[in-house]
Amino acid sequence: MSLIQRTSDTSTERSFGEGDSLKLVPLWSIILAVIVFAGVMYVFNHAPPPHRRPGSLPMGLIFSYTTATALASYVLLIGYISRDVKRRNMSAALWMLVAVGMPGGIGAVVYFLLRQPILMRCPHCTTELAASVHFCPQCQFQLAPVCGQCFRGTQITDVYCAQCGHDLAEDHAPARLRAFSD
């Protein structure tokens, strides 16, 4: 197996939360955000105003664009929360009620402050673990590469530990965690 195949195999083993946060925004939320943006722009710019002063058009456009963008972003945020709450095994109905019900976006801030960590299962014993652990506490299965000297996490492509400078090739990591071999 060549070096390119090994690195491509290890890159496909990423878990779903490392860089795919934007993929969590559902299609209904995107469509609703576009409708909200267009609707707010229409209401502010095409509805007959009670009185319009000369020269107020630029400020009116800026205000309508800012308001439409803020409301559309809030709709996208609610869509993200609706998917993220399920990924973290939390009560979807409760957190959607908190996120939508609290005024001024405070509910979304509360959600991001109190959300649970993403859990994964150990492939060896199926114990639920936080995604940041390197070893399973039940069966000692190595989930991620670590330095054999300081036991801090390393990248799978590192040759030396970034913390202590230890040669990682001396650690004899499991084959599934090695990207390069001599």
Structure tokens at 115: 């959300």
In this prediction, residue 175 carries a pLDDT of 56
The mean pLDDT value for 23-35 works out to 92
Q: Please, what is the average pLDDT of the chain?
A: 77
pLDDT digits (tens, 9 = 90+) for 51-98: 666 556 777 788 889 999 999 999 999 999 999 898 888 888 999 999
CA 77 from chain center: how many Å?
Answer: 12
120, containing H or E segment: strand 119-121
Percent of the chain's residues with pLDDT above 70: 76
User: By three-state DSSP, how is residue 57 classified?
Assistant: helix
In this prediction, residue 54 carries a pLDDT of 58
User: Which residues, in sequence order, are bridge partners of residue 121?
Assistant: 128
Residue 33 has pLDDT above 90, yes or no: yes
In this prediction, residue 20 carries a pLDDT of 67
Contact 28, 79 (CB under 8 A): yes
Percent of the chain's residues with pLDDT above 90: 24
Residue 182 has pLDDT above 90, yes or no: no
Residue 1 has pLDDT above 60, yes or no: no
Helix axes 106-114, 57-87, angle to 10 degrees: 30
The mean pLDDT value for 34-42 works out to 94
Residue 153 has pLDDT above 90, yes or no: no
In this prediction, residue 46 carries a pLDDT of 78
Q: Which of 108, 112, 40 is nearest to 74 (CA)?
A: 108
Tell me which DSSP letter residue 18 carries: S
Using 50, 70 and 90 to split pLDDT, how confident is the model at 170? confident
Q: How far apart are CA 140 and CA 68, in angstroms?
A: 52
List Cβ neighbours of 108 (8 Å cut-off, separation of 6 or more).
74, 77, 78, 81, 99
pLDDT digits (tens, 9 = 90+) for 5-21: 333 333 333 444 455 67
pLDDT digits (tens, 9 = 90+) for 92-118: 899 999 999 998 889 999 999 998 887
